[in-house]
A and B are shown apart, each in its own frame.
Chain A
Amino acid sequence: DGGITQSPKYLFRKEGQNVTLSCEQNLNHDAMYWYRQDPGQGLRLIYYSQIVNDFQKGDIAEGYSVSREKKESFPLTVTSAQKNPTAFYLCASSIGRGGAETQYFGPGTRLLVL
């Protein structure tokens, strides 16, 4: 049963703490993406990766970091430098690297600041 999984579903962050959101896919997709969703706004791209060991900044990369050591995994770290991290985070993947391809989304992680 192929798909994208994200964990945890809910995550709480304390001030000054780094937290890592997990994203795993078993679709054998090359490209993976991290988006942030805030109320009343469209999804905004944080980082994307088109191939293992390579990733690119999106529109709102400041305060976030990623790694792509394995094809199936693309974890996102929300660092203490991200001053407004409360949001819904969505991971997605697509089969190729060209951009004009269907993206498949995970169920999302809701991050809340304590």
Chain B
Amino acid sequence: KNEVEQSPQNLTAQEGEFITINCSYSVGISALHWLQQHPGGGIVSLFMLSSGKKKHGRLIATINIQEKHSSLHITASHPRDSAVYICAALPNTGNQFYFGTGTSLTVIP
């Protein structure tokens, strides 16, 4: 059983669409990390959050601790947003992250 589940697994969108990627986790956590993995394999950190909402440019991340759920939103999507988006949860009782399997996003011009 995976402690972190992401949906959808794959997502195709037209340029300009609003995109939502979901992450659910089964344990109490102290932080949640959203990451972006480019086709070449490199990973970039997007957000680290433990409550509420964070925004950076066209990206917004929200988390609901009680519901054990986080979402990553992309507004006005662009082909350069095409990547795999990974969420990772840090359990209250541990010091290592548990990673979801990722959501593969393709934005078509």
Contacts and interface: CB of A to CB of B under 8 A. Distances in A.
A44 B99 CA distance: 7
B42 A42 contact: no
A100 B86 contact: no
Contacts of A2: none
Given A99-B95, A107-B40, A108-B42, A42 B4 contact: yes
B96 A108 contact: no
A100 B50 CA distance: 9
Contacts of A101: 48
B86 A102 contact: no
B31 A100 contact: yes
Interface residues of B, number: 26
A44 B3 CA distance: 12
Interface string A3-33: 0000000000000000000000000000000
Contacts of A99: 30-31, 90, 94-97
B101 A105 contact: no
Nearest to A38: B101
Contact of A108 (B35, B41, B102): B41
Interface of B: 2, 4, 30-31, 33, 35, 40-45, 48, 50, 86, 88, 90, 94-102
